[in-house]
Chain A
Amino acid sequence: MGKTMAEKILENKAGFPVKAGDLVIAPVDRAMGQDGTTPLAIQSFEEMKGERVFDPEKIILILDHNAPSPLESVSRLHDLMRNFSRKFGVQLMEIGEGVCHELMVSRGFVVPGDLVVGADSHTCTYGAIGAFSTGVGSTELAVVMLSGELWFKVPETIRLNLQGKLPAGVFSKDVILYLAGKLGADGATYQALEFHGPVIENLEVEERFTISNMAVEVGAKAGLMVPDEKAIKWVRERTNREFQPVFPDPDAQYSRVIDIDCSSLSPQVALPHQVDNVKPIEEVGEVPIQEAFLGTCTNGRLRDIEVAARILEGRKIHPEVRFIVAPASREIFLEAIKRGWVETIVLAGGVFVTPGCGPCVGTHQGVPGDGWNVISTANRNFKGRMGNAQSFIYLASPATVAASALEGKITDPRKYLR
């Protein structure tokens, strides 16, 4: 009987044959922690009397959620992480380097076939390059830093075949929002997703991350894609580490197989306060907005900034809208500066903040006011997510966010992209 990517990667790591439903203890290839979750992990590590980490090369700590620090209490937590990093020789990415999930892939820490855990739910992002990566809690991160291994339940897999060709003005974000609406917020709980089909094959690698990133929004443990030539080339440009890509067997057993034709998809919007509350833009109606945000581990990459710059070029953002941009990494920020896109966006009235999570996690850099509607390229619109439970978050693609910032209301971007 054939096996899925999730089964094959976990089997390789466990060292014995496994199938969906089995519980295994497996060594991890990389472990990641960010500044929201790592302080608790360090406390647990100390409570376990950890005297060394299993392998300093395989642990990456990243300051991105509150960067630069907005509060003295956060500064203390950052220092706790810096001291831990010095003491154990663990790598630490300072404030302004970027969002953890972008750095893990763009700096070449993750390769196809890896088993990666991160103390952040969107660790599933690296599935786009064929790694089994999943979010864990702080205690689990502590245990991994100490022992190098963790328990996993081998998940069943839902196979999604994305057929057809995306129309102009429709992006990978629209695809995953549509799927979130279709599957529901718990539609894949404790399962893995495998994304297949021509829509995925035709996407650039950076666009694929957007889809895998949001696998957790339907409850999935991982969001895997076949590491094709494009993905393998992308990874080889970033690391010299050897790897063996893992592919699903043609006769793999899936819990469900879903075929979706994406050829007539419209731009999609997730309405407050749930990610699966999705409508095509034609059905959203008149929604004035007071804040627009472009960035995050979902959509803060070069192409995302590019499409916003194209839409905003020579125009002015609506006077009632605060438009905030957080590039996903320092490299992306620099490249966007070189290509003139930062200038275009700033001239249009946009505001750039430090590469990192920006206002997505609700601690700083753009907390919305009472009653505000926010349109955002992020992955979550839960009540209070951006720091004010009296605001309303709509999720959409970078193009939709930029077009909406221009008009001061949720706007179909296609008229600006002809």
Chain B
Amino acid sequence: MIISGKALKYGDNIDTDVIIAARYLTSTDPAELARHCLESLDPTFSEKASSAILVAGKNFGCGSSREHAPLAIKASGAKAVIAASFARIFYRNAVNIGLPILESEEAAEKIKEGDQLEIDLDKGEIKDLTSGDTFQVNPFPPFLQEIIERGGLMNLVKERVKSH
């Protein structure tokens, strides 16, 4: 699968309170979550998210276990998140709900705001079409690859429960 979009760059330690504040957890409506995604960091995020690929530093998604965080990003229309590293619960949640995430320190450092990006998820490759750079991404372990291929954890479990 190929994903393309424009890079929106953010810093290190983007926490889940910044991604979606707790006062919006009173809703499980994705559109409502999308409206407030990253608003305290970047008030214009929701306007430019729909064609974006987020590019952040280390420890993206640290903090709360709220699954609303990857859900809000996914609902905003953003295509994927590239980061130097991810916090572990966010990483699991993103895989489970089917938000593409890619870990690459080099890509996180070299990609510039506004660069046009193309990601080949199967090959684990990020192309920066603006600069001409190509980055290889740390691959998912096979078990996670399976979850992703089935379209999220729930689909995998539905099949397991059915086969029992």
Contact = CB atoms under 8 A, between A and B. Distances in A.
Given A37-B67, A189-B87, A361-B22, A147 B161 contact: yes
Interface string B62-76: 111111100100000
A36 B66 contact: yes
A362 B26 contact: no
A190 B88 contact: yes
Contacts of B21: 362, 384, 387, 389
Which of B28, B88, B153, B157: most chain A CB closer than 10 A? B88
B18 A382 contact: yes
A98 B15 CA distance: 26
Contacts of B26: 66, 71, 73-74, 77, 363
Contact of A387 (B18, B22, B63, B66): B22
Contacts, number: 129
Given A140-B92, A186-B59, A380-B17, A362 B28 contact: no
Contacts of A153: 141
Given A190-B88, A382-B17, A382-B18, A362 B157 contact: no
Contacts of B104: none
Interface string A261-293: 000000000000010000000000000000000
A375 interface: no
Contacts of B85: 186, 189
Interface in A57-76: 65-66, 71, 73-74
B79 to A, nearest CB: 20
B126 to A, nearest CB: 21
Contacts of B96: 137, 139-140
Interface in B20-48: 21-23, 25-28, 40-41
Nearest to B39: A389
Interface residues of B, number: 40
Contacts of B143: 23, 151
A139 B152 contact: yes
Contacts of B65: 37, 118-121, 123, 135-137
A73 B27 contact: yes
A347 interface: no
A382 B157 contact: no
Contacts of A151: 143
A229 interface: no
Interface in A133-184: 135-140, 142-143, 146-147, 151, 153
Contacts of B154: 44, 47-48, 139, 142-143
A202 interface: no
Given A47-B154, A362-B17, A382-B15, A185 B66 contact: no
Classify chain A: how many residues form its interface, as a range.
35 or more
B87 A136 contact: no
Nearest to B92: A137
A143 B157 contact: yes
Nearest to A119: B65
B59 A189 contact: yes
Interface in B82-105: 85, 87-89, 92-93, 96-97
A382 B40 CA distance: 11
B29 to A, nearest CB: 10
Interface in A377-395: 380, 382-385, 387, 389
A346 B161 CA distance: 54
Interface string B121-164: 00000000000000000000101000000001110011011000
Nearest to B156: A143
B141 A39 contact: no
A37 B28 CA distance: 10
Contacts of A118: 65
A26 interface: no
B4 interface: no
Contacts of A49: 158
Contacts of A356: none
Contacts of A119: 65
B58 interface: yes
B153 A143 contact: yes
Contacts of A385: 17, 22
A385 B23 CA distance: 9
B146 to A, nearest CB: 10
Nearest to B64: A121
Contact of A146 (B18, B89, B152, B161): B161
B25 A48 contact: no
B13 interface: yes
A178 B33 CA distance: 35
A79 to B, nearest CB: 13
9 contacts: A37-B66, A48-B157, A136-B65, A137-B96, A139-B93, A140-B92, A186-B58, A186-B85, A274-B13
Task: Identify the 6 closest CB pairs spanning chains A and B, nearest first.
Answer: A389-B40, A137-B93, A186-B59, A137-B67, A382-B17, A135-B65
Given A36-B66, A140-B153, A362-B17, 12 more contacts: A36-B64, A48-B157, A74-B26, A77-B26, A137-B93, A138-B93, A139-B97, A140-B93, A189-B87, A274-B13, A383-B41, A384-B17
